[in-house]
Structure 1
Amino acid sequence: MSENKKVAKEIIHAVGGQDNITSVAHCATRLRIMVNDKEQIDQEKVENIDKVKGAFFNSGQYQIILGTGTVNRVYEEVEKLGIEGSTKAEQSQEAKKSGNFLQRAIRSLGDVFVPIIPVLVATGLFMGLRGLVMQETILGLFGLTEADISSNFILFTEILTDTAFIFLPALIAWSAFRVFGGSPIIGLVLGLMLVSPSLPNAWGVAEGGVEPIYFGFIPVVGYQGSVLPAFFAGLIGAKVERFIRKRVPEALDLILTPFLTLLIMISFAMFMLGPIFHEVESYILDGTLAVLDLPLGLGGLLIGLFHQLIVVTGVHHIFNLLEIQLLENFGNNPFNAIITASIAAQGGAALAVGIKAKSKKMKALALPSALSAFLGITEPAIFGVNLRLGKPFLMGIIAGGLGGFLASLFDLAGTGMSITVLPGVLLYLNSQLLLYILVNIVSIGAAFALTWLFGYKEKEEAL
């Protein structure tokens, strides 16, 4: 029997057996289980299973932290054992009554953005690599200057770095239709309509070189790089499609449903949703910039302090919206460097616990969790070690605030999003690289020192 199959069997048994499981899904790090009776779960037995780094209830789901890569393999074994799998979106529908309105809304936002993030990560890496290649020092190694670079090469790099943001509304509308029960292909076409070349380009309008089209008093432009208009067009469009499909004859469904859905939604999106939510986006962006621009690094201090607390609540997906707006409007992302500091700090705290601990179980849990945090995933460190022990989590928060303060003082800004700490180096392959490394070292070092001195004693090992 493979090790992952053994882990899968033990998890099923510990949560009350197959009869107690409604469905199973997974995200980047967690196995997400919907159960019939939470009282049948043996929490201690789950936490003692090999490869399990922590487990807890959140948003109506029992979430077992396994880590990247491992969770995919264990999920496959769970499905092979006859447990019905489901998508995160389907589970979100099952759990939609869990939590307050804000939590449910942000969870839905996260479900829409998670499938899009990989292409935005790739775009950020392309931006970082272009920044590295175009540095005078690097060009000088080959006896070149920026003037020697072919315009065709520049065009090629622009295709790599600009495409995802130009067609971002199409990606968002596609994902929103998928999450909210519509036909993703209709969502994709609706999103493409929002960035049609027939409309005035949004960036051209913002720069003053292009005039919007006025339908009466309503200005209409393309929505290149916009998030909220496409998100709400997808959300409402999926509902409209389902409403229409239930009411048209089956023989006419193929013709009428997509026709009416697209006609109604592009009209609604262009003349109402677009202008309204484009304005809302500008206010959100202004508010984010106001916090980031607080003097003396205070913005970085506040974000660094509170980021991992927000991660614990599970509503941190709201930051995806903010980071996308920063990248789309300015071509860089100061938020990334600050939250990197808070993530690195939790890894530093877990590392201190792992080295100081005498218990083999604690070492086996804390040291891999610290490594996971240094790769940008903090859930194992937070839920498996730091938050369980209490003080290490607090020390990580303090150190994260310090690192965020420095990142803000240094005006650090990544070329992309969603990768941090060690992988995040690829977003700073320019004159910022040494400062980025310094911020991470300070965050990890401060968290390690504080945890070692004040945050952890051997008797606190409740394992």
Structure 2
Amino acid sequence: MSDNKQIAKEILEAVGGNDNIISAAHCATRLRLMIKDKEKIDQEKVENISKVKGAFFNSGQYQIILGTGTVNRIYEEVIKLGVSGRTKSEQSSEAAKSGNAFQRAVRTFGDVFVPIIPALVATGLFMGLRGLVMQEQILALFGLSPDNISDNFILFTQVLTDTAFVFLPALVAWSTFRVFGGTPLIGLVLGLMLVSPSLPNAWSVAGGDVEPIRFFGFIPVVGYQGSILPAFIAGIIGAKLEQNIRKRVPEVLDLILTPFLTLLIMITLALFVIGPVFHIAEEYILDATVFLLSLPFGLSGLIIGTINQVIVVTGVHHIFNMLEIQLLEQFKNNPYNAIITCSIAAQGGAALAVGLKTKAAKLKALSLSSSLSAFLGITEPAIFGVNLRYGKPFIMGLIGGGVGGFLASILGLKATGMAITVIPGTLLYLNGQIIPYIFINLVAIGTAFILTWLFGFSDKMLADNKR
């Protein structure tokens, strides 16, 4: 096994030495370096270092793909060698000024919604498990039927599956305040106010069982259970408002007046202006998403499955988190997940073909480990370390993703959650969909594998790639 300390030294040397590094951080799979002078980086030397699966610039950072677990150890060695350490969020702040306005906006969008995803992943798994245990075939194994399930057990499962969505505005407002420089706890309280039991429940209003409260005779006021945009916009404005109030309030009164004025002004704006306006906008976005996913003849799956990993390469894929959350909140299912799962699995299939076909030991090891990573839902090692480097395997992966996505749409597969895909994603399809889910993934992998084996890669590319 290669020595992590030696690998850290080689990385520092290849990127221009300690003096060329502003700071280092890491995420689940990548070492993230803020670099002073890009020209000093020896890209080929970096990519030839043991355990490195690819390297590229993204979001103002030089990101070196090392893989889960490995990145933690090498980051520790890099810090021991004198490089300044940062948390991922601190370094993201340092890089925030890089890129164009759209890239910065998408990056901020991701910073808000990514921390919420673990709670929604857990909720999706709870939905999947409930779907599994409530199937008649499963209950029959224990001599039960759906009629034998007690109301108390149903209530227990509802607590597990509904809580995150009922209080979704609180999660969104908390995270938005955190990202935009406000006090997260004030954001949390503002979000909770939007779902106060004193307000008419949004789902009851939508079902026609309850009427909204009408202020001044024309402004409809309801709770915002499950809503995203009203809480997001209120969070942005609220965080900036809090900062401005804090600058103007005497320090001795800051603890009392700042949260009081922030919450008073913001809940007024949120209920009477922001909520009604952006709830309508949210509905239009959801309608557009549903329209795309409802295209006939599997077109939605074909289109999304083909282009998804191109979007991942650009780094703006986090913008779709909100759409998945909306689908889950509104319909309790997520057809988007099944489609993008195929695009991820296909990139793994292409990398697997490269790994089995090549005679180069380093590329074989890199490709096989990267394909496994893709089958666990993380495609960056396969994309940046193998498929994009040689071009054609990436294209064959896109074709495989389109074919698999097409089948996912034709079969009408719908996940119970989001954010986990391929092998871990099986947990989102335990409600009677597991067989077709496995089938579409195997088709996506097989298509990409065969095309890459036949047309997408040969060892001759190794020599061409070095020129």
Aligned to 2:140: 140
| C-alpha deviation, 1:2, in angstroms | 9.0
Q: Secondary structure of the residue that 1:246 maps to in structure 2?
A: helix
| Deviation for aligned residue 1:74 | 3.1
**4+ residue segments displaced more than 6 Å:** none
2:2 and 2:50 in contact (8 A); partners too? no
Structure 1 residue 80, shift from structure 2 partner: 4.3
Give the secondary-structure state (helix, strand or coil) at the position aligned to 1:116.
Answer: helix
Partner of 1:390: 391
Secondary structure at the counterpart of residue 214 of structure 1? strand
TM-score of the pair, normalised by structure 1: 0.96
CA displacement, residues 291-349 of structure 1 (integer Å, 9 cap, x when unaligned): 11111100110000110010000000011111000000000000000000100000000
Q: Counterpart of 2:181?
A: 181
Listed as ranges, the matches of 1:51-90 within 5 Å are 51-90=51-90
Q: Which moved more, 1:147-156 or 1:388-397?
A: 147-156
Q: 1:152, 1:85 → 2: CA distance?
A: 50
- Matched AA of 1:435: P
* Matched ranges for 1:382-461 at <5 A: 382-461=383-462
Confirm or deny: 8 A CA contact 1:171 1:191 kept in the other structure: yes
Q: Which residue of 2 is the match for residue 278 of structure 1?
A: 279
Task: Write the letter of the residue equivalent to 2:259.
Answer: P
C-alpha contact 1:182 1:237 (8 A) present in aligned 2: yes
Q: Tell me if the contact between 1:350 and 1:386 (Cα under 8 Å) persists in the aligned partners.
A: yes
Amino acid at match of 1:214: R
Counterpart Cα distance in 2 of 1:309 and 1:156:
41
Alignment correspondent of 1:292: 293
Q: What do the CA deviations read for 1:103-130 (whole angstroms, capped 9, x no partner)?
A: 2111111011111111111111111011
Does 1:32 find its partner at 2:42? no
**2:113 equivalent in structure 1:** 113
Aligned residue pairs: how many?
463
CA distance in 1, matches of 2:168, 2:52: 36
After superposing the two structures, state which structure 1 stretch, 126-135 or 19-28, moved more: 19-28
1-side partners of 2:173 and 2:263: how far apart?
A: 12
* Equivalent position amino acid for 1:104 in 2: R
- Return the alpha-carbon distance in structure 1 between the equivalents of residues 248 and 85 of structure 2: 31
In structure 2, how many angstroms separate the alpha carbons of the residues matched to 1:382 and 1:432?
28
Deviation at 1:69, TM superposition (A): 3.0
Shift in alpha-carbon separation, 1:223–1:26, aligned structure 2, 3 A: farther
Separation in structure 1 between the aligned mates of residue 207 and residue 77 of structure 2, nearest angstrom:
53
Matched residue, 1:266 = 267
Q: Which residue of 2 aligns with 1:14?
A: 14
Partner of 1:43: 43
> SS of the counterpart of 1:219?
strand
DSSP-derived class of the 1:261 partner: helix
C-alpha deviations, 1:12-43, integer Å up to 9, x for none? 33322333222223333222221222222222
1:86 deviates by 2.9
C-alpha distance after superposition, 1:357-380 (max 9, x if no partner) = 000010011000000000000011
Aligned positions of 1:239-250 closer than 5 A? 239-250=240-251
**Does the C-alpha gap of structure 1 residues 278 and 56 become closer, same or farther in structure 2, counting only changes over 3 Å?**
same
What are the superposed Cα offsets for residues 175-204 of structure 1, whole Å, 9 maximum, x if unpaired?
111111111111111111111111111111
1: CA distance between counterparts of 2:158 and 2:80? 44
Alignment partners' CA distance in 1, 2:177 and 2:17? 34
What CA distance in whole angstroms lies between the structure 1 residues aligned with 2:3 and 2:169?
A: 42
Give 5+ residue unaligned stretches, structure 2.
Answer: none
Residue 167 (str. 1) matches residue 171 (str. 2): no
* Kept in 2: contact 1:117–1:418 (CA 8 A): yes
Q: Which moved more, 1:418-427 or 1:453-462?
A: 453-462
Q: Secondary structure at the match of 1:377?
A: coil
Which residue identity is paired with 2:349?
Answer: G
CA distance in 2, matches of 1:77, 1:119: 32
Instruction: Find the counterpart in structure 1 of residue 356 from structure 2.
Output: 355
Cα distance change of structure 1 residues 177 and 79 upon mapping to structure 2, 3 Å threshold: farther
How far the C-alpha of 1:458 sits from its partner, in A, is 0.9
Structure 2 counterpart of 1:138, which letter? I
Cα offset, 1:84, TM superposition: 3.0
- Distance in 1 (CA, whole Å) between partners of 2:319 and 2:386 is 25
Offset at residue 233 of structure 1 (A): 1.6
The alignment partner of 1:416 has SS state of: coil
Distance in structure 1 (CA, Å) of the matches to 2:451 and 2:235: 47
Identity across aligned pairs (percent)? 75
Which is further off, 191-200 or 331-340? 191-200
C-alpha distance in structure 2 between counterparts of 1:269 and 1:373, whole Å: 42
Q: Which amino acid aligns with 1:364?
A: A
User: Residue type matched to 1:384 in 2?
Assistant: G
Residues 238-284 of structure 1 show CA distances to partners (whole Å, capped at 9, x for unaligned) of 11111121222211111111111111221122222211211111111
SS of 1:348's equivalent in the other structure is helix
How far has the Cα of 1:151 moved from its partner? 1.3
Q: Any stretches of 5+ residues in structure 1 without a counterpart?
A: none
Q: What value does the CA root-mean-square deviation take over the aligned residues? A: 1.6
- For 1:314, the aligned partner's letter is G
Which residues of 2 match residues 147-158 of structure 1 at below 5 A? 147-158=147-158
**Aligned equivalents of 2:162 and 2:260: distance in 1?**
30
In structure 2, relative to structure 1, the CA distance for the partners of 1:78 and 1:256 (3 Å cut) is farther
Change (3 A) 1:73 1:156: farther
The one-letter amino acid of 2:169's match is P
Residue 67 (structure 1) shift:
2.1
Which residue of structure 1 aligns with residue 315 of structure 2? 314
3-state SS, counterpart of residue 430 of structure 2: coil
Contact 1:88 1:111 in 2 (8 A): no
Distance 2:2 2:336 in 1: 41
Distance in 1 (alpha carbons) for counterparts of 2:2 and 2:186: 42
Counting only pairs closer than 5 Å after superposition, residues 336-355 of structure 1 correspond to structure 2 as 336-355=337-356
CA distance in 2, matches of 1:81, 1:231: 41
Deviates further, 296-305 or 212-221: 212-221
Distance in 1, Cα, partners of 2:213 & 2:78: 54
2:292/2:300 contact within 8 Å kept: yes
- Aligned partner letter, 1:424: G
Is this contact kept in 2: 1:89–1:179, CA < 8 A? no
Partner in structure 1 of residue 211 of structure 2: 211
Taking the aligned partners of 1:163 and 1:76, their CA distance within structure 2 comes to 38
- 1:74/1:184 CA distance change after superposition, 3 Å: farther
The one-letter amino acid of 2:325's match is I
Deviation track 1:124-165 (CA, whole Å, cap 9, x = no partner) reads: 111101100000000000000011112111111111111111
Counterpart for residue 368 of structure 2: 367
Asked if 1 retains the 8 angstrom alpha-carbon contact of 2:334 and 2:416, the reply is yes
